[in-house]
Amino acid sequence: MSKAIELKNSSFKKNLGPSLSRFFFLFSIAFVFFALILWIFGKNPFRAYVDIFLNTLGSTYGISETLVKMIPLILTALATAIPSRIWLINVGGEGQFHMGAIVATGVALNLNFLPGWILLPVLIISGFLGGGLWGMCSGFLRAKGWVSETISTLLLNYVAILLVSFLVFGPWKDPESANYPQTAEFGEAAILPSLGQSRVHLGIFLASAALCGFYFVMSRTRWGLEMRAMAANMEAARRNGIPLEKYFLILMLIGGGLAGIAGMCEVSAIQGRLRPNISPGYGYMGFLISWMAMGNPWGIVAAAFLLAIVTAGGDILQMTQGVTGSVVNILLALILFVVLARQGIIRGRK
């Protein structure tokens, strides 16, 4: 009986019903505006939405591709959501994603003699450490009180992305691939297996496990309680002996590490090698998803699903409607706008 009461009263768990309906109402606003824009440019918005729908959810292949996109989005969303539980603003998902990819690539290229059952776990760990230590740099600067993590994570993004370019144009460039800036292809053992014939790879289990772990830690454990206390009142948390600095470091490690795993999955399962432009902005979209969901695990799944469809929609519109694929950025911006407006409304009401 007491368990049931705890569930009901824990402030971490939210009432799902009304939040879901509000979620859909808000996004319909963004979609209506986007339809208006398409209509102004002489396109048929209904046709466009039907195309997007049919190509993403209308076939098994479409659904599997949506899932493929959801994996990195969920992981990068957690990269923001986890530190955000104690008001650390991690804008560095993109950089942590790239660092995970870099370290995993380094391991895959240099330890290619190992069998898959050893190499794959090592790859996952190296991806985690690559992104995690990158994130922890910002956590360290924040714990020392030197630099705001918002600024440092944002700036480190550019460093990580340029580092990828440096490596693929320079020391790691594959001599056999003519003039393409990319590394050699990974060995068979370094490829993260996929499910059946689809491109949906084992990363889906990693993402699901991370989501469940996040939910469990926040709602049940001592660490979750301490984190909620920090979010509620930093000063009192400090006086209760909660080691704030340790949390800054560890949460940035975990958050960055999950983004790093997303990067590792991308090079290991999708690309099979490191090259520039491995991310269409997964890190930033993860940030968007996290704020859309306000840290709620189910919200993260729902928002990642939506954004996976939207990003796929760009390519579809380019093919079927003859507009440039980046037109979906308008839709992304509209979604960001309604998300921020909603938060403004909530704050205003309080």
Partner 1 sequence: MGFVPLLSVKEITKSFSGVLANDHINLDLFPGEVLAILGENGAGKSTLMKILYGFYRADVGSIYLKGAPIQIRSPQEARNYGIGLVFQDFVQIPAFTVLENIILFSPGLPFILNKKHLAKQITELSEKYDLRIDPYAPLQELSVGERQKVELIKLLLAEAKVLIFDEPTRNLAPHEIEGLFKVFANLGRDGYSVIFITHKLKEALECANRIVVMRQGRITGILSAQEASEEKLISLMFGETIIEFPFLPKARTIKASPPLLELKGIATYAEEKAGGLKDINLKVYPGEIVGIAGVAGNGQKEIGDVILGLQKCARGRKYLFGQEATNWSVARVRESGVVFIPEDPLTMAAFPWLTIQENMALSNTKKYSQGRGFFINWDAVRADLEKSLKRLGFKLPSFYSMLKNLSGGNIQRMILAKELAQNPKLILAFYPTRGLDVRSASAARELLLTYRNAGAGILFISEDLRELFALCDRLLVLFRGQIVGEEDPQKITFQEVGYLMTGGKYYEQSN
In the list 30, 133, 242, 310, the residue contacting partner 1 (rule: CB under 8 A) is 242
Amino acid letter for position 138: S
**Contact status: 11 vs partner 1 (CB under 8 A):** yes
Return the SS3 of 64.
helix
**Beta carbon nearer to partner 1, 120 or 253:** 253
Contact between residue 293 and residue 81 where contact means Cβ atoms under 8 Å apart: yes
**Beta carbon nearer to partner 1, 29 or 225:** 225
To the nearest whole angstrom, how small is the minimum distance from the Cβ of residue 176 to partner 1?
50
* 201 phi/psi in degrees, rounded to 5: -105, 180
**Contact status: 350 vs partner 1 (CB under 8 A):** no
Stretch that binds partner 1, among 1-9, 186-194, 279-287, 312-320 (CB under 8 A): 1-9
Binding string to partner 1 for residues 71 to 110, with x set by CB under 8 A, is what? ----------------------------------------
Neighbour count for residue 112 (Cβ, 10 Å): 14
Binding string to partner 1 for residues 211 to 240, with x set by CB under 8 A, is what? ---------xxxx-xx-xx--xx-xxxxxx
**Beta carbon nearer to partner 1, 42 or 241:** 241
**Beta carbon nearer to partner 1, 151 or 229:** 229
Which DSSP category does 274 fall into? -
Q: How far apart are CA 144 and CA 85, in angstroms?
A: 19
To the nearest whole angstrom, how small is the minimum distance from the Cβ of residue 139 to partner 1?
18
**Contact status: 6 vs partner 1 (CB under 8 A):** yes
Angle at 160 between CA 157 and CA 161, to 5 degrees: 85
Return the SS3 of 60.
helix
* Longest Cα separation, the chain: 68
Cα–Cα nearest to 260, from 151, 103, 108: 103
- Give the side-chain half-sphere CA count within 13 A for 88: 39
CA distances in angstroms from 88 to 151, 230, 251, 301, listed in the order given: 11, 11, 9, 21
Q: How far apart are CA 44 and CA 183, in angstroms?
A: 42
**Beta carbon nearer to partner 1, 47 or 238:** 238
**Contact status: 35 vs partner 1 (CB under 8 A):** no
Scan residues 149-178 and list those touching partner 1 (CB under 8 A). Answer: none
**Beta carbon nearer to partner 1, 29 or 217:** 217
**Beta carbon nearer to partner 1, 229 or 330:** 229
Length of the chain, in residues: 350
**Can you give the binding site for partner 1, defined by CB under 8 A?**
2, 5-6, 8-11, 220-223, 225-226, 228-229, 232-233, 235-243
